[in-house]
Every structure is written in C-alpha cells, then in structure tokens.
C-alpha cells in the first residue's frame, strides 16, 4: 500500500506595498520612525522597509485572515509618515524664517 502524502499547509498572504517619495534625510527619518513598529510586530505580521532612489518602500505582509490588521498597520504607518513630514516641513519653514530675519534688508 503506497504511503499517503499529506498536503502541505498553504496559507494565502496579503502584501501591501507603500512607496513614499522623499529626499535622502527624509527617507532615513521615515525608516527610523517605522522600525519600532517592525520590531514589536507579532510573528504573523511582517513589515519591511527599504530606501531606494528618493523613495522609501514599505511592505506589510500577513495571512489573508488578518487583512484588517494589515489595514490598521498601514493606517498607522501613514499617520507616522504624515506627522513626520509635517514636522520636517514646519522645521524647515521656521529655519527659513530665522534666516530671513538674519539677512540684511
């Protein structure tokens, strides 16, 4: 009698890729802001980030049953990025204002 072969467990995954255009220093700040979430993520959730040419690419992957968790994670990442970029913009505007005050008229 031939040995029975058990089918391997196959779980479907969902992967979301977010590309964030940025300049070099902004890219580094974005990745550093996202990394703590990556380290604290549950085993079933994978968050990868990498810096490309003027872009940060964030991939979020999990079993398809966890699609709502993927969405929540994506929302969090986008909130971090939005807040960070607004802060950088405010700092740059403030620095420009200081430079204008120092410049002779």
Tokens 């029975």 correspond to 4
CA–CA gap between residue 47 and residue 58 (Å, rounded)? 7
Rg (CA), the chain: 21
Confidence (pTM): 0.73
Q: Is 69 exposed, middle or buried (0-12, 13-18, 19+ CB in 10 A)?
A: middle
Q: Supply the range of the domain harboring residue 35.
A: 13-100
Q: Is the pLDDT of residue 5 over 60?
A: no
Note whether residue 92 is domain-resident. yes
Note whether residue 47 is domain-resident. yes
pLDDT tens, 20-65? 998 888 888 888 888 866 678 899 999 999 999 899 999 999 999 9
Tally of structural domains, the chain: 1
CATH code of the domain covering residue 22: 3.30.310.50
Note whether residue 67 is domain-resident. yes
pLDDT of residue 98: 65
Note whether residue 42 is domain-resident. yes
């Amino acid at each position: 009698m031939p040995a029975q072969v058990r089918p391997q467990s196959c779980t479907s995954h969902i992967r979301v890729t977010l590309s964030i255009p940025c300049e070099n220093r902004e890219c580094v700040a974005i990745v550093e802001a996202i990394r703590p979430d990556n380290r604290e993520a549950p085993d079933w959730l994978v968050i990868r980030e990498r810096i490309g040419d003027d872009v940060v690419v964030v991939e979020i992957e999990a079993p398809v049953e966890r699609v709502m968790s993927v969405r929540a994670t994506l929302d969090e990442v986008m909130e971090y990025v939005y807040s960070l970029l607004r802060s950088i913009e405010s700092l740059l505007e403030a620095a420009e204002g200081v430079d204008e005050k120092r410049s002779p008229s």
